[in-house]
Amino acid sequence: MAEIRGGGVPASPRASRGRGTRRTAAATGDEEPADARDAANDAEKPADAGIAAHPSAVVATPSAVHGNAPLVWRADKAVRRRRGHRGLRGWACQRPRRQAEAAVRDCLAAAGAWAHQEGWRLPVVAARLKVSERSLRRWSARQQRVLARGRPVVRPPLAVRQDVLLQLAEGGPGVSVACLRAAFPHVSRAELVDLRGRYRRLCRQRGRGRMARLTWTQAGVVWAADFAWPPEVIEGRYPRLLSVRDLASGMQLAWRPVSGESAAETRGVLTGLFGEHGAPLVLKMDNGPAFHSEELERMLSPQGVAVLYSPAYTPSYNGSVEAGVGAMKGRTEMQAWRRGASGSWTWEDLEAARQEANAACVGRRESSPTRAQVWASRPRLDEAARSALRAEVLRQQPKCVWPEAGVKDKESGEGVLDKGCPWRVVLRRALVALGYLVLSWRRIPLPIKLQKTDKIT
């Protein structure tokens, strides 16, 4: 409506689609009422001062939702977004957009009716609103009922749709539309595509897996340890490798050859690391016999280190150190290849690979700090931090027993807790509450595999 009163935007030179030979651009100022012309030429009076007094004539910038995105109407043009709504057909798909269009047309029709009552001519009003005279006249006489466009959707009977769904349940969500058309030739292809799409969405919703992204905020708090297998025995004496990694900084603390997966070897390596860098708050390990030994527990208990074991047959629970082992194997093999002895690793190759990994940047940019720099700038863990973790664990689960006490469950081998809340959950909640861990949850839909052969039962 500000376009009608103020005349800030020139009239469009486009010819009107209405009847007659008059052009909208030919409308001059002497065709306007005298009071409107005086108000438009008044510099001290705002352009829309006469419109605000009429509630029905106020045309704001409406935003109506149609489909997945809003329809934004402007005076010069309409910005149209993605059409339709996923999972809907026919009138259910068109309803939001048709209602938004009807709301905009009603606003323009109300503005035209108010301008006509004030003495404005229809060509001038249509030019100011940047619509044709014919459209404005048709919108003013339009009925309030909103109708759908296009060919109406013809749905088959309910029994037929149930048969199609049974066929999908038998063949699976990967069945092709061609197979469905061969089984139901009297059903339209669009209907079969819609039913298969709805069935696929239901299968994805039911089969979605929950996955979390872990972000460790402070270096030195949580370490992870795991054994690895070299391509051949290192220097004829060491058939295994022990990897110890800090999760927050990615610092590779140990990448050493050991004579076997024994508690004595693990204890010796961890004792040296604790004396050099200090003990962490939590140590993540798998369920190997070397990590579940009482000898290792007697070493970790005086240090105040909480042990976090992975669930049975779940190596992905300790995925950070697993990924680190793969990367360290590649770096070590590169060092051996440079010596001209591919596959034959030595102590020097292992240490050079560890130094190279710690010199890598934490982020993707070259200006990001390296893992060694992040590790060097970490705050030292004191007794207050360990006491805070103990208190938070007791607050999260009052019935739990600290694992260093040596009391374990016979089935899981973990600390004795309430059966509804295992030790892993309690320790995770404590780390999140203290700010050491940030979890970002998301849903992962399972992929639908297409069937290229017939299913034979």
- Its pTM stands at 0.57
Tell me if 107 sits within 8 A of 96, measured CB to CB: no
Any idea which residue has 């001059």 for tokens? 28
Rounded to whole angstroms, how far apart are CA atoms 326 and 329? Answer: 5
Residue whose entry in the numeric block shows the structure tokens 């710690």: 358
Q: 3-class SS at 150? A: coil
- Which among 441, 414, 412, 410 has a CA at the least distance from the CA of 426? 414
Question: Which residues are registered as beta bridge partners of 63?
Answer: 72
**65-83 burial, b if ≥16 CB within 10 A, otherwise e?**
ebbeeebebebeeeeeeee
Buried b (16+ CB within 10 A) or exposed e, 197-235: eebbeebbeeeeeeeeeeebebbbbbbbbbbbebeeebe
Tokens of 438: 């940030």
Contacts 24+ apart (CB under 8 A), 71-78: 71/97, 71/100, 71/101, 71/104, 73/104, 75/3, 75/9, 75/129, 75/130, 76/9, 76/130
Question: Which CATH number is associated with domain 215-443?
Answer: 3.30.420.10
Q: Which residues pair with 213 in a beta bridge?
A: 440
CA 182 to chain centre: 39
**pLDDT tens across the length of the chain (457 residues):** 444 444 444 444 444 444 444 443 334 333 444 444 444 444 333 333 333 333 334 333 333 333 333 333 333 444 344 444 455 677 777 888 888 988 888 899 999 889 988 899 999 999 988 899 999 888 888 766 787 888 788 889 999 999 999 999 988 888 889 999 999 999 999 899 989 998 998 888 887 777 788 899 999 999 999 999 999 999 999 999 999 999 999 999 999 999 999 999 999 999 999 999 999 999 999 988 899 888 898 999 899 999 999 988 888 889 889 999 999 999 999 999 999 999 999 999 999 999 999 999 987 777 889 999 999 999 999 999 999 999 999 888 765 555 544 444 434 444 444 445 688 889 999 999 999 999 988 877 767 766 554 555 5
